[in-house]
């Protein structure tokens, strides 16, 4: 069974557990953010394959991530600033575009099974993530470190990885979280 959500096509990929800061200026997205805050709902983030973030969007990725707003405010230039946290992955099975240009998607949820990491698993990845988070500090405001949680490690590391969006999208589309960690490990070790 599918569910309808508002969609925010972007030139980047959001992962479950990852954080994504956004500056909102287009009316359709300002309205969407207000609605999400008022109704305590989320919105979908999907990678743009054709088109641009501003204006009309052509093709978008079939797999994306539901985002929830965890912080918001107004910037000095008057634009709306939000931080969204990735919640869960979805596959787009249909949708349309409203008159104001806001995409609506019919989605099916993709489940990520909880997976606890053993002390000796992915130690280099976990150490790298801990170092990066310490360096970023308040620029990437994780509330709590969960380095034993495979989904949390994969999501945050993939979110912060300086890799092309096409690679990051491939990682997002992998159903097994440990396979995602293996892909990230290969890239960081220079094997990919």
Predicted pLDDT at 134? 92
Give tens-digit pLDDT for 116-162. 999 999 999 999 999 999 998 888 888 788 999 999 999 999 999 88
Higher pLDDT, 1 or 44: 44
Question: What's the mean pLDDT when you consider all of the chain?
Answer: 90
pLDDT in tens, 98-118: 888 888 999 999 999 889 999
- In this structure, how many other beta carbons lie within 10 angstroms of the beta carbon of residue 163? 17
pLDDT of residue 120: 94
List beta partners, residue 20.
84
Residue 121: what pLDDT?
94
Return the number of other C-beta atoms located less than 10 Å from residue 27's C-beta: 11
87 or 1, which is more confident? 87
Q: Which domains does the chain have, with CATH numbers?
A: 3-110 (2.30.130.40), 123-188 (1.20.58)
Examine the pLDDT at 50 and tell me if it is beyond 80. Answer: no
Render pLDDT for 14-44 as a digit per residue (tens, 0 to 9): 999 999 999 988 888 889 999 999 999 999 9
**Residue 55: its pLDDT value, please?**
59
């Amino acid at each position: 069974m599918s569910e309808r959500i508002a969609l925010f096509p972007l030139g980047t990929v959001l992962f479950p557990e990852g954080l994504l800061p956004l500056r909102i200026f287009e009316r359709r997205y300002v309205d969407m953010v207000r609605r999400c805050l008022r109704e305590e709902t989320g919105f979908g983030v999907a990678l743009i394959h054709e088109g641009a973030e501003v204006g009309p969007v052509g093709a978008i990725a079939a797999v994306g991530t539901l985002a929830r707003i965890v912080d918001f405010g107004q910037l000095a230039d008057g634009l709306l600033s939000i931080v969204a946290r990735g919640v869960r992955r979805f596959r787009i099975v249909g949708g349309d575009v409203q008159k104001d240009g806001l995409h609506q998607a019919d989605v099916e949820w993709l489940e990520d099974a909880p997976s606890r990491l053993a002390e000796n698993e992915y130690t280099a990845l976990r150490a790298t993530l801990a170092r990066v988070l310490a360096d970023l500090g308040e620029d990437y405001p994780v509330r709590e470190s969960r380095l034993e949680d495979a989904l949390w490690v994969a999501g945050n590391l993939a979110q912060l990885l300086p890799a092309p969006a096409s690679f990051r999208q491939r990682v997002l589309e992998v159903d097994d979280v440990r396979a995602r960690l293996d892909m990230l490990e290969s890239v960081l070790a220079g094997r990919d």
